[in-house]
Amino acid sequence: FLNHPDYLIRVQKRAEPYLHLILEEIESKNIPGELALLPVVESAFRPDAYSPADASGLWQFIPSTGRLFGLEQNNWYDGRRDIYASTQAATSYLKELSETFEGDWFLALASYNYGKGNVQKSIDKNLANDLPTDYWSLSLPNETFTYVPKLMAVAKIFANPDQYNIPLQDIPNEPYFEVVNMDSQLDLKKAAELANTSMEEILKLNPAFKKWCTAPNGPHRLLIPVDQAETFRENLAHLPKELRVSKRNLAVAQTSYRSGRSIKHRIRRGESLTSIANRYAVSYTHLTLPT
């Protein structure tokens, strides 16, 4: 980490919108504050991060573990990328693992990375051979064996920034966003207009939605920048439900999904990935650029 100070600066900037929520969840569950830095190791604080092992989101849930902790995954929505839901799920999971291993947070973290069953097998193997069963004594894959030291290193650097000559970003100890509950689907472009903010900001806070609007069957909520939340609520209250979702976009999305077809689009001057995605009623993250 010290060899890549620019990386530490980037992850601090990425963490700013999400850190207050994470710290609130950690404090409410009475788990170590250092775990707020776990997304540095897991995803570099990128909520759209995706790994070859099919893990996704800030907390890098694989599909099965995500579903086990209530993170729904379908064609419209991936709860693993939901900042609000995945943070609740990850802190609950970590708390559960710590209780499984009687408060040993090193073993809990190893289990978060490698799986509870796999860590228990390593413990049982050492017990059978009359060997110690602490984290450092277990036979673990290299990724898992370096996982805890990575978190320890990040925590030590941020606890002693002057010693390591790493500038700390001033992240206010206040909410960056509010969770606004709605009672229907909403076009994400309309959400940006109602909140008087940019589409980029809406997508940054709500990366779980895979298409151009919120999911038909929920969750019917959006994370809205705290300064725009009241404006959003007021404007939403005056927008009839029948105008919250474009019928044309909805029809295009449903037809495309049923047929499973892909479409080639020639990029024209002035077009952005967001505008192209809106035209075809998909998330911009699902566009594939030619090589």
Q: Which residues participate in catalysis according to the annotation?
A: 42
Alpha carbon distances (Å) from 128 to 33, 63, 121, 123 = 35, 33, 10, 9
d(CA 261, CA 257) in angstroms, rounded, equals 7
Contacts of 155 (CB under 8 A, 6+ apart): 34, 37
d(CA 199, CA 250) in angstroms, rounded, equals 19
CB-based contact 85:71 (threshold 8 Å): yes
- For 225, the 3-state DSSP assignment is strand
Alpha carbon distances (Å) from 63 to 50, 72, 116 = 12, 9, 16
- 186 phi and psi angles, rounded to 5 deg: -145, 135
For helices 105-114 and 116-128, the axis angle rounded to 10 degrees is 120
Find residue 180's DSSP bridge partners: 222
Output DSSP code: residue 160.
Answer: S
